[in-house]
Amino acid sequence: MAQEKIGVYVCHCGSNIAGTVDVEDVAKWAAEQLHHRGVVVARDYKFMCSSLGQELIEKDIKQLGLTRVVVAACSPHLHERTFRTACKNAGLNPYLCELVSIREQVSWVHTDKVAATEKAKAIISGGVERVIWHEALEPLKVPIHPATLVVGGGIAGIQAALEIADAGFPVYMVEREPSIGGHMAQFDKTFPTLDCSACILTPKMVDVGNHPNITLMTWSEVMRVDGYVGNFQVTVRQKPRYVKTELCTGCGICQEKCPKKVIDEVFEAGLGYRKVVYTPFPQAVPNYPVIDRENCTYFIKGTCKACQKFCPTEAIDFEQKEEFIQIDVGQIILATGYDLFDPRKIAQYGYGRLANVFSSLEFERFTNAAGPTGGKLYLRDGVTVPKTVAIIHCSGSRDKNYNNYCSNICCMQSLKFAHLAKEKTGAEVYNFYIDIRTPAKAYDEFYQRVLEEGTHMIRGRVAEVTDAARGTKDEGKLIVQVEDTLIGKQRRIPVDMVILSAALVPRKDHHETARMFGLSCSSDGWLIERHPKLDPVATMTEGIFIAGCAQGPKDIPASVAQGAAAAARVIGKIQQHEIAMEPVRATVDQEKCSGCRICNNLCPFNAILFHEDRMVSEVNPALCQGCGTCVAGCPAGAITGTGFSNEQVLAQIDGLLLHNIKHLEMEAVPVP
């Protein structure tokens, strides 16, 4: 085989790279010093990713007959596909192109120009050595199962499920609670338009419940995920409802007759009660109740069965067991939502200790016409109407002691609370804020409206809420102590009621979720998207998408937009029927295999079969994910990993250490 003809292309990326790395010197160096290694051309260009830059490469491939291309630019995670496509357009196998990251790994992280330029040369040299050993490959085509799993039945999941189902593809929706609806179902009004949350949400919930393409699995949780894009096998645990759904008509008699009430910590946020057999709210979808086994008198004492006695259709079944259901899907959308920050952690605000300090979710239930007070706002005693209300923004957000991020929705939510408190009680309302953030459509106008209504806006983060009076005017009140930063003085404002706009935090079990689906979480615990700007709903794991608050705090419009965006991505893939995968796979050279079976146990995907008859192992390319552990572990060196072969890595090490110019200068070039 003749020596390869390699082209090296060094990108300026405007001044992003050229500002720190002497790109012209690097290109000149590559042309001269790596010439003996096959570099026949080395060019630098302002923006290699531009169409002119790509044409430059395509032209060289055609005119100079390049057999390998090295592009020194940004991270391969951004533009690998761009340059591979350019190669392909010029008739070169796209896998004969190697990207070297001299932006993320050099110019952006180093300041010393000389050192940065030297490092850029070294890693280009590594790329050149490596690319020599590249092989022409074809992408693997994997068929896509047309069904999709949507995890989480809040507004983001509902939107995603409906979009996909309406496009004609099957959807499984798994929801942990007895009903879909999520947090949005708990609210009464939604900002900034103040339209009724139930009015806009319940039609969508009903659509999900009735849609012929949607299989709704509530009171269920995903237990296990196997497989990979196109072919996931998902195990869902269906918790026992103790209600035969095929017989239940949702008449509600069981709930009426159940003699036991417990505090509803979930839907009513602890502010109200529910029966032990219950649907969380009247518009629940599906409208079958569940029996809360922990609290059910029958399960505790063995007697009662009031629900069973009164059920007209004999739908109550105390013998029901949990079931594990296997479903096959091609893609997955995670819309698992958020938890509310526990404001008890901010001890100085007294939540949980001072009766009339409420959380934002409690306030939502207060104002909800279907809530425990029928939409009336009272103090904890359930009868007194507050005359003064304090609303504390940023409770647990923007605070390194709790959550070092802005929860995004609290400003608007707090302004909504101010409006509702005033509307419902005529109370004097004080909002305590650090900054007011209203950057979406019609949001600032809503702020103006709340100002017009006479809400007192005090700029200062509240220091403490106390019932320790100083003087008679404070007696029996809660005192909000704050520095009014705009006048520079400490103020103590006596109020009847305090509402804490608590932060949104990742679900308690976010870490297990991330592990089960092979995703990673940010340090705050939110699921990480593939790219924060350009790929906000895809993840690093092919075939798994995220939507809504699972990805970070966001309001309803943004959650809906993400749900729809994730659905669009899923539908696009289904319609292609198959998906192209990186051909990074391991193969066993049957001649070299000694049959030791060490690799068999190294593979987490059970992709390595052992042929007892021939005493050799073989990799099933459909199951192999290309991690390369077996390649590293094979004592006979019989396993090769395409794309990351021993030759490629060892050659790259030589290149990085500049052996190709130090030691090999005079030697003949080894040819693969």
For residues 110-169, which are near another protein according to CB under 8 A?
Answer: 110-112, 114-116, 118-119, 122-123, 126
Are the beta carbons of 138 and 319 closer than 8 angstroms?
A: no
> Hey, which residues between 37 and 66 contact another protein (CB under 8 A)?
none
Residue 476 contacts another protein per CB under 8 A: no
DSSP state of 107: I
> Beta 497-502 vs 357-359: how paired, if at all?
parallel
Which of residues 278 and 432 has its CB atom nearest to another protein in the complex? Answer: 432
Residue 335 CB neighbours (<10 A): 30
398 near another protein (CB under 8 A): yes
DSSP class of 521 = B
Spatial separation of the C-alpha atoms in residues 345 and 352, rounded to whole Å: 10
For the bound state, the minimum distance from the C-beta of residue 105 to another protein, rounded and expressed in Å, comes to 6
Shortest distance, position 482 Cβ to another protein, whole Å: 4
Cα–Cα dist 255/241, whole Å: 14
Which helix or strand (DSSP H or E) is residue 418 part of? helix 410-425
Out of 62, 81, 309, 353, which residue is the one contacting another protein (CB under 8 A)? 353
Binding residues for another protein restricted to 247-306, rule: CB under 8 A: none
- The stretch among 208-216, 252-260, 278-286, 397-405 that binds another protein (CB under 8 A) is 397-405
In single-letter form, the type of residue at position 649 comes to V
* Smallest separation, CB 188 to another protein (Å): 30
Of 173-181, 300-308, 380-388, 515-523, the segment contacting another protein by CB under 8 A is 515-523
Task: Give least dist CB 21 to another protein, A.
Answer: 11
CB contact at 8 A, 55 and 44: no
DSSP strand pairing (338-340 vs 504-506): antiparallel
Q: Nearer to another protein by C-beta: 270 or 518?
A: 518
596 touching another protein, by CB under 8 A? no
Q: DSSP for 591-626? A: TT-----HHHHH-TT--EEEETTTTEEEE-TTT---
Q: Which stretch binds another protein (CB under 8 A): 144-152, 233-241, 324-332, 600-608?
A: 600-608
Among 336, 501, 617, 652, binds another protein (CB under 8 A): 652
Work out whether 641 is an interface residue with another protein (CB under 8 A): yes
Options 144-152, 173-181, 276-284, 460-468: segment touching another protein (CB under 8 A)? 460-468
Pick between residue 108 and residue 318 the one whose CB is nearest to another protein. Answer: 108
DSSP, residue by residue, 264-289: ESSTTTTSEEEESEE-SSTT-SS---
Q: Which residues contact 406 (CB under 8 A, 6 or more apart)?
A: 394, 397, 398, 437, 553
CB closer to another protein out of 328 and 399: 399
Number of H helices, E strands in the chain: 18, 34
Contact between 77 and another protein by CB under 8 A: the answer reads: yes
Query: What DSSP state is assigned to residue 635?
Result: T
632 binds another protein (CB under 8 A): yes
- Cβ 217 vs Cβ 170: under 8 Å: no
Is 523 an interacting residue with respect to another protein (CB under 8 A)? yes
Size of the site for another protein (CB under 8 A): 83
Residue 665: other Cβ atoms inside 10 A? 11
Provide the sign of the torsion angle of the four alpha carbons 471, 473, 474, 479, taken in this order: negative
| Residue 490 binding another protein, by CB under 8 A | yes
- Residue 307 or 334: which CB sits closer to another protein? 334
Among 347, 622, 669, 671, binds another protein (CB under 8 A): 347
Selected from 318, 378, 605, 610, the binder of another protein by CB under 8 A is 605
| Cβ-based neighbour number of residue 188 at 10 Å | 20
Find the shortest distance in angstroms from Cβ 197 to another protein. Answer: 31
Q: Which of residues 82-101 bind another protein (CB under 8 A)?
A: 101
Q: Looking at 481, 509, 568, 647, which residue binds another protein (CB under 8 A)?
A: 481
280 Cβ neighbours under 8 A, 6+ residues apart? 177, 178, 179, 181, 185, 264, 266, 267, 274
Block residue for tokens 């507050």 = 386
Run of H or E including 189: strand 189-190
> Smallest distance from the beta carbon of 76 to another protein, in angstroms?
7
Site string for another protein, 413-452 (x = CB under 8 A): ---------------------x------------------
Map residue 367 onto helix, strand or coil. helix
Which residue's CB is nearer to another protein, number 377 or number 458? 458
181-189, 233-241, 516-524, 589-597 -> range binding another protein (CB under 8 A): 516-524
Exposed/middle/buried for 429, CB within 10 Å: 0-12, 13-18, 19+? buried
Which is closer to another protein, CB of 231 or CB of 629? 629
Verify binding: residue 602, another protein, rule CB under 8 A. yes
| Interface with another protein, residue 664, by CB under 8 A | no
Three-state SS for 73?
Answer: strand
Q: Are the C-beta atoms of residues 585 and 640 closer than 8 Å to each other? A: no
> Which of 287, 425, 455, 466 forms a contact with another protein (CB under 8 A)?
466
Binds another protein (CB under 8 A): choice among 215, 238, 373, 629: 629
Q: Does 109 bind another protein (CB under 8 A)?
A: yes
Is 342 a binding residue for another protein by CB under 8 A? The answer is no
Report the C-alpha dihedral over residues 281, 282, 284, 287, rounded to 10 degrees.
Answer: 120
> How far apart (Å, rounded) are the C-alpha atoms in residues 340 and 506?
8
In the complex with another protein, the residue whose CB is nearer, 216 or 480, is 480
- Least distance CB 104 / another protein (angstroms): 3
By C-alpha distance, which of 489, 492, 462 is closest to 475? 492
At 201, is the secondary structure helix, strand, or coil? Answer: helix
Read off φ and ψ for residue 374, nearest 5 degrees: 65, 30
Q: Cα separation of 87 and 105, whole Å?
A: 24
Is 636 a binder of another protein (CB under 8 A)? no
Of 24-32, 286-294, 437-445, 478-486, which segment contacts another protein by CB under 8 A? 478-486
CB nearer to another protein: pick between 378 and 644: 644
Q: Residue 219 or 430: which CB sits closer to another protein?
A: 430
Return d(Cα 413, Cα 392) in angstroms, integer.
11
The 544-583 contact track toward another protein, x by CB under 8 A, reads: ----------------------------------------
Q: Does 535 bind another protein (CB under 8 A)?
A: no
User: Is the Cβ–Cβ distance between 152 and 332 less than 8 Å?
Assistant: no
User: Interior CA angle at 247 toward 246 and 251, to 5°?
Assistant: 120
Please, which residue, 70 or 158, has the CB nearer to another protein? 70
Among the residue ranges 305-313, 322-330, 405-413, 518-526, the one whose residues contact another protein (CB under 8 A)? 518-526
Q: Which residue, 244 or 459, is less far from another protein as judged by CB?
A: 459
* Contact call for residues 22 and 72 (beta carbons, < 8 A): no
